[in-house]
Copies of this chain bind each other. A is one copy, B any other.
């Protein structure tokens, strides 16, 4: 086993090596003229200033949690927490720092050709992707190696499990703050800037006279790049950890427990290699289809990953019957391999469905464009209709995934499917993280007054970015849906373990009389489902309000700058970009705290509240049900928001080349229909980039906190 762990770690290092190579390749590209460099510098400074402030705030919270974890659990757990938090922060930090340098280079490259622009933007995205996957895998693998090989703990020792769960918690905590803070920043700037710029002052998006324009571009980097990276880091880490924990519990007392814990790591290692190879397949074909170019990379990765899965299976558990689980189910290597393939198929289907719902040229986006012709109201109605409808197919795919993997290899099979799904996260993130780079490149092109065709190239890249952004979010939440049972099972089996130990007289006194009842007929289960189900709604509402408030503050600030210095609109004096960035930084940091605490505290509050009116058993039952409740509504809320938002955005973009309605009339940019589509886009902004994506970390953190609550109670 140690050998395999070392091989996996080498795979993780390969990803880091790719990131270093790609970074030097991106940095060597031409940065364009002085004006472009100046704009890019302003964006870079703003983004760095925000991230510094955000990380400082998180560091304070993190230090407290670190101390608490040490005190309540152990130094091993606290160290795990620190590893998860620091590596997650690092992936976002480096990825964003590359992104703020790639933007201007992409603009410059796009002025030569679309293919060159795509090349730099995608490479920049791939750096973030590989860093996320590589650092997450390295963190888990190396810490697991250190704990089991160096310190000699058994793989299934509570110390190891607590340490891994704490690692996931560290990643989760960063993730919820980064997703929400970044999301509030980026959409506050976007919505506020558009309202006062496009609507009131009548100047185009990214016009250099708009004081919020730099903030808008900063937001792309801190929200869509750094925030997204933290989110996916967390999803990756939590999934791997949950699968390992499940392996440890599922095969407790059997001799395959170590293989079962190492297998998910091996899958991730193999898939990182295939993701790296896949990046070299991304190349603009003769038809000039950007989506087609990205798909080449994705399909190459997916197909190669089947081979990778086979190798990982062969190297760890083999393809035959590998033994029985603690529950007596015979586990077969081939079946697990097929489960992994199902995970990849689920990923492919979610990508395909998301593209259908958010891509220009398909029925949903067209229906929103068409509805824009009759006004703002009908645009929003149709957008909401699409957003609600877009949840159906992914749900059915997830249901199919759950049933098929469970039938093949029980819960562990489902966990392996989710692991394989997350295995290719490096590639998926690459598809996503290129979006903010091209968005920025477009902004720089506009502000620097580059020729219109440059903007056209960056816009074409950006439109695809809207879809790929939605894809990543659908993928992340989809993995949560497919993994719902795994996360719940980790909690359930942990609880069972403590109860069994307590009853056998092996400590854990707290759990002696606990008899959780997770049947739907138990009213505390229904209560847990309802309270869990509430979290995504309340959390989403808070996030939307925060964006509205931040945007309102930006509107006031921009109006003030216009009023104080009429030279800004005349183009004779420069607006104070930094003031807008600074204002948003403060607003986003302040606004992210309370909503982030909701999913962190919810399981704890519910546990003690139910304990107060009933007993421990019912309190554990309610918390367990809460974990499923938050996924059941969260899945729908997140998919509807992210797909709906992407569809609104692209419906707006469909007017840029003129949208031909059902009556054959062409509506151009600036028409009434286009204005209606801008309203939908504004609504979709916080939907898809703040509230929707933050639901995924909210789900995960609720689950992780519940696991930690068990661990802490066990230590008490």
In the complex, chain A residues 505-527 whose Cβ is within 8 Å of any chain B Cβ: 518-521, 523-527
* Inter-chain contact A385/B484, CB cutoff 8 Å: no
* Inter-chain contact B679/A538, CB cutoff 8 Å: no
Contact of A391 among B402, B492, B524, B537 (CB under 8 A): B537
CB proximity of A112 to chain B, nearest CB, Å: 36
Residue of A381, A384, A391, A406 ringed by the most chain B CB atoms within 10 A: A381
Contact of A682 among B378, B389, B391, B538 (CB under 8 A): B378
A-B contact pairs, 18 of them (CB 8 A): A199-B375, A380-B683, A382-B545, A384-B541, A384-B687, A385-B541, A391-B534, A391-B537, A395-B530, A399-B530, A403-B610, A403-B614, A484-B530, A488-B520, A488-B521, A488-B526, A518-B520, A520-B520
- Report Cα–Cα, A238/B307, bound state, in Å: 56
CB proximity of A162 to chain B, nearest CB, Å: 22
Closest to A644 in B: B541
Contact of A529 among B403, B407, B632 (CB under 8 A): B632
Closest to A389 in B: B541
| Contacts A375-B195, A376-B376; A399 near B527 (Cβ below 8 A) | yes
- Report Cα–Cα, A388/B691, bound state, in Å: 11
Asked whether A43 is an interface residue with its Cβ less than 8 Å from the other chain, the reply is no
In the complex, chain A residues 179-209 whose Cβ is within 8 Å of any chain B Cβ: 191, 194-196, 199
CB proximity of A514 to chain B, nearest CB, Å: 16
CB proximity of A33 to chain B, nearest CB, Å: 34
Residues of B within 8 A of A613 (CB): 403, 407
Asked whether A533 is an interface residue with its Cβ less than 8 Å from the other chain, the reply is yes
CB proximity of A110 to chain B, nearest CB, Å: 29
Asked whether A547 is an interface residue with its Cβ less than 8 Å from the other chain, the reply is yes
In the complex, chain A residues 531-578 whose Cβ is within 8 Å of any chain B Cβ: 531, 533-534, 537-538, 540-542, 544-545, 547-548, 551-552, 555
Asked whether A588 is an interface residue with its Cβ less than 8 Å from the other chain, the reply is no
| Contacts A518-B520, A518-B521, A632-B632; A191 near B381 (Cβ below 8 A) | yes
- Report Cα–Cα, A376/B672, bound state, in Å: 13
* Inter-chain contact A388/B682, CB cutoff 8 Å: no
One of A333-341, A422-430, A450-458, A633-641 contacting the partner: A633-641
* Inter-chain contact A414/B548, CB cutoff 8 Å: no
Q: How many residues of A contact B (CB 8 A)?
A: 86
Residues of B within 8 A of A693 (CB): none
One of A258-266, A441-449, A623-631 contacting the partner: A623-631
* Inter-chain contact B628/A526, CB cutoff 8 Å: yes
* Inter-chain contact A624/B520, CB cutoff 8 Å: yes
Asked whether A25 is an interface residue with its Cβ less than 8 Å from the other chain, the reply is no
In the complex, chain A residues 644-687 whose Cβ is within 8 Å of any chain B Cβ: 678-679, 681-683, 686-687
| Contacts A530-B632, A625-B520; A540 near B388 (Cβ below 8 A) | yes
Asked whether A214 is an interface residue with its Cβ less than 8 Å from the other chain, the reply is no
| Contacts A541-B387, A628-B529; A548 near B371 (Cβ below 8 A) | yes
